[in-house]
Amino acid sequence: MRVLSGIQPTGNLHLGNYLGAIRNWVKMQDEMDADSACFFFLADLHSITVHEERATRMRNVREMAAALIACGIDADRSVLFNQARVPAHAELAWLLNGTARIGWLNRMTQFKDKAGKNREGASIGLFVYPVLQAADILLYQATHVPVGEDQKQHLELTRDIATKFNTDFGVELFTLPDPYIPKESARIMSLRDGTAKMSKSDPSDMSRINLTDDDDGIAQKVRKAKTDPEPLPETAAALEGRAEALNLVGIYATLTEQTPDAVCASFAGKGFGAFKPALAEVLVETLRPIRQRFIALKEDEAALDAILDKGAEKARAVAAPTLDGAYEALGLMR
Ligand code: AMP
Ligand code: TRP
């Protein structure tokens, strides 16, 4: 079993990133036995598909590393690194470009969504993004890849590329990975609109809880969160059609590791005047230690760079045999 996942180093981390992605990684790390490390990386090579100033990109990579560590990723137990420090990712992606088919990539819904109407004006990088992702995964012989639903298609493509390469060159080089979508994986919605995802790009800061928000800021955002005048029902099913209420119950349930039904049962008949302070309290208590570590780490660039250097060194060693095998299979002499 080898667990591997990547995350794009976007700035302004929020509760959605924590509960939807990072916390799942921490859980997997903590469940692994001592001698099998998880691989977690910052997809900075993928991030060049969105234009960014150099200083912003550097800050985002360090910030995301700080956030992962603050949330519980332990760089001694897991291999934590950024792609750019491990050239094997870019190299294998190029080699896989000989195997991946244009027709396969044409079917990727994430490309269609991100390119929008202006397909001709989209970068080649955005189009071949999933090939780099396949390289990320195949380099380390990953078996379990914790991701959100939206990444399932990229995992399928990774399997297709791996199978075709192995078959075309008569090798058993690549392991076929499976997506791992945690059961309790959370989709956190905006505090202002229960039908929109909580997002760093929402113009209203009141719509999200940032990892840098202080106790009062968190409490205020919960107090002002959109709700309805009805009391909480006995079961979560009865929250149908009450998107904002469902979202707040969902956040509470995720944070306290209960089912939404259990949360409804304990607050049934009470209104949001009673529920919101309880939610604010668990949020504040959960996020306070994370925020304190995050802010301290973020400032310590030298320490973060040293952690990423060390992670990259470990990653390079594990990636090397697979990359060598790919050159070898293709008859490329180095
Ligand atoms: P992004 O910054 O949107 O690329 O997200 C980085 C990671 O956080 C991805 O794994 C997303 O699936 C996850 N994520 C972002 N927003 C949310 C949200 N509102 N709810 C759950 N997961 C989220
Ligand atoms: N594409 C993923 C996302 O947007 C990030 C990613 C890049 C990734 N490489 C990966 C995830 C490899 C899992 C494995 O969330």
Domain coordinates of the chain in residue numbers?
Answer: 2-186+301-330, 205-296
- pLDDT of 184 > 70? The answer is no
Q: Is 145 in the pocket of ligand 2 (CB under 6 A)?
A: yes
Residue 41: phi, psi to the nearest 5?
-140, 160
Q: What is the pLDDT of residues 27-64, one digit of tens each?
A: 999 998 877 899 999 999 999 999 999 999 999 999 99
* Residue 21 CB–ligand 1 contact under 6 Å: yes
**Alpha carbon of 7 to ligand 2 centroid (Å):** 5
Find the mean pLDDT for residues 120-146: 97
CA–CA separation, 140 and 236 (whole Å): 41
CA of 288 to the centre of ligand 1 (A): 20
Q: What is the CATH number of domain 205-296?
A: 1.10.240.10
Catalytic status, residue 197: yes
Q: CB within 8 A of 80, min separation 6: which ones?
A: 40, 41, 65, 68, 69, 73, 307, 308, 311
Share of the chain above pLDDT 90, in %: 93
Containing H/E element for 82? strand 79-82
Pocket perturbation via mutation, ligand 1, pick of 17, 49, 133 by most ligand atoms within 8 A of CB: 17
Cα 21 to averaged position of ligand 1 atoms, centre (Å): 6
Q: Nearest ligand, CA of residue 152?
A: 2
Per-residue confidence band for 148, with pLDDT thresholds at 50, 70 and 90: confident
C-beta 46 within 6 A of ligand 2 = yes
Quick one: tokens of 114?
Answer: 């991100």
Q: How far is the CA of 42 from the centre of ligand 2 (A)?
A: 9
Q: Is the CB of 49 under 6 A from ligand 2?
A: no
pLDDT, position 185: 67
Ligand 2 mutation target, pool 154, 156, 181, 199, most atoms within 8 A of CB:
154
- Is the CB of residue 268 less than 8 Å from the CB of residue 234? yes
pLDDT band at 113 (very low <50, low <70, confident <90, very high): very high
17 lines ligand 1 (CB under 6 A): yes
Give the ligand 1 atom nearest the CA of 17: 8
| Residue 66 pLDDT > 80 | yes
User: What residues form DSSP beta bridges with 5?
Assistant: 40
CA distance 4 to 216: 36
CATH superfamily of 2-186+301-330: HUPs (3.40.50.620)
Catalytic residue chosen out of the listed positions 27, 112, 152, 200? 200
Which pLDDT band holds residue 181 (cuts at 50, 70, 90)?
confident
